[in-house]
Amino acid sequence: MKAHFDNSYSRLPANMFAEVTPTPVGNPHLIIRNDALAKDLGITFEDDDTAVFAGNTIPDGAAPLAQLYAGHQFGNWNPQLGDGRAVLLGEVVHDNQRFDIQLKGSGRTPFSRGGDGRAWLGPVLREYLVSEAMHALGVPTTRALAAVSTGEPVVRETVLPGAVLTRVASSHIRVGTFQIYAARGDMDALKALTDYTIARHYPDATGPSDLLNAVIARQARLIAEWMGLGFIHGVMNTDNASIAGETIDYGPCAFMDSYHPERVFSAIDQLGRYAYQNQAQIATWNMAQFATSLIPLMDDRDAAIEEFTIAVNGFNDTFQVERRRVFGRKLGLTVMTDADDALASDLLDLMASDGADFTNVFAKLDDARDQFLDRAAFDAWHTRWTKRRDAEPVNPLIIPRNHNVEAMISAAVAGDFAPFRALLAAVTDPFAPLTDATKGFAKAPTEEEQVTRTFCGT
C-alpha cells in the first residue's frame, strides 16, 4: 500500500499511548477493499496489501500504537480503557488533511484488559457495511478501507472465523481521551492533547472555550442526522464520542423498522439509557463531561464553569436547529417553522401509534396511507402537509435493516459473501430508484424476521 504515511499522534507525550505491533495471523485472505475511498485518500494498492490489512506487514512511514483513554460507560466511570483490540498504524496525509488508518481486531495491546484483541467476522462486516452506508446517507462517520479474514478461529460463545477491519477516521480522539488526563491531573498531556486537537480539527479555535463550542456544534449536527434516519447508536459512552463529530464504533447499533421513540436494540442497554429519543440528551451529558475535562486548563475556573455550563446548556437549542434542517429536508420544507415542528411530531406520533415503518413512510410520503391503521388520521395529516410542502422530500429508500444484516452475517460465516456484496451495493446507493436486485432490501421485516436485540461487536 503506497501512501504518504505519518503518525503525528506518536509525537505527543509518551504516556498517551503504547507502541505496539499488530499480531500477525496465519492465513489472511482479502474479503473486500474500498478502492473509491483509497483513491480519495491518495492510496495506491499493491500486491501484498492483504498482509498490511491483516497486520502482518507494516507500511513504510507507519508508527503503530494503541491510544489510551478512559470513559463513562452507561454513566459509570471507568478510569482506564484504551485500544484493546485496535492499532493505529498512523495517518495518511493527502491534500493537507490527515486521516487515521487503524486496524481493528489486530491482536492484544497493553490495554486489552484480559481480552484476546481479536474480532470475529460478523462485527467486522457489520461495521464495514453500516459505516459505508452512513457515508452514503451523508452522515459524518468513520469509513472502512478493507476487511480480511484471518484464517484463525475466534472463541466467543462458540468458535467463529476471525477477521480484521481497516478503519479510516478524521481521528480517533474521543471525549474519553480528554477525560483520562483531566482525571489524573496530568496537565502536560491535557494541554498537549488540546493543542493537538485544535490544530488538527478546529484550527480557528483559540483555546478550550472555542474547542468546546465547536465540538458541541458538530455533535448536535451528528445526532440530528441520526434521528432523521431512525438510527440508534446503542453505546453512546464518552469513549465512543468522537471529538471530530463522526459516528464511531458500530457495536449494537440499529436502524428502526417500525417507529417508536423509546426503541432500544442493544442487549446491554437494559434501562434504555441510549434509546432513540434519549440520544440528544445523552449527547448533552457527554458534552458536559468534555467541558469538565477542559476546566483544569482555564485560568479562572469559576468563570470557566459558568461559561461552559451555558455552552453545554445551549446544546439543545443547536440540536433543534439541526433537527429542523434534517426533518425539513425529509418533509420537503425549504424553511421549517415553529408550526412545522408540530407537523413533524404529529406524523411521528401517528407512526408510533400504528407501528408504521420509519424509512418507508418517509420514502413515499405521497403514498404512505397503507402504512397506517388509522388512515383517516393520516389523511388529515397528509392534507396539512400537502399545503405546506414546497420542495421534493429527500429520503433514502434503503437502509441497513437489521434482519438483512444478520442474514448477511450468517451467510458469510458459512462462507458465502455474495449476500454481503449485494447488500453493500444497495445500502451505498440508498437514494437510487429500486430495481429487481434491490427492492427486497427496502421491505420491512415480517414478524418472524424482526431483530429486536443487537450485540456489541466483540
For residue 152, give the C-alpha cell: 484463525
- Measured distance CA(54)–CA(145) in Å, rounded: 12
Q: Is 239 among the residues known to form the active site?
A: yes
CA angle 439, 144, 429 (to 5 degrees): 25
Q: 3-state SS string over the chain?
A: CECCEECHHHHCCHHHEEECCCCCCCCCEEEEECHHHHHHCCCECCCCHHHHHHCCCCCCCCCCEEECCCEEECCEEECCCCCCCEEEEEEEEECCEEEEEEEECECCCCCCCCCCCEEEHHHHHHHHHHHHHHHHCCCCECEEEEEEEEEEEEECCCEEEEEEEEEEECCCCEHHHHHHHHHHCCHHHHHHHHHHHHHHHCCCCCCHHHHHHHHHHHHHHHHHHHHHHCEECCCCCHHHCECCCCECCCCCCEECCECCCCCCCECCCCCCCCCHHHHHHHHHHHHHHHHHHHHHHCCCHHHHHHHHHHHHHCHHHHHHHHHHHHHHHHHCCCCCCHHHHHHHHHHHHHHHHHCCEHHHHHHCHHHCHHHCCCHHHHHHHHHHHHHHCCCCCCCCCCCCCHHHHHHHHHHHHCCCCHHHHHHHHHHCCCCCCCCCCCHHHHCCCCCCCCCCCECCCC
- Measured distance CA(193)–CA(371) in Å, rounded: 50
Catalytic one among 49, 83, 100, 239?
A: 239
Active site residues: 239
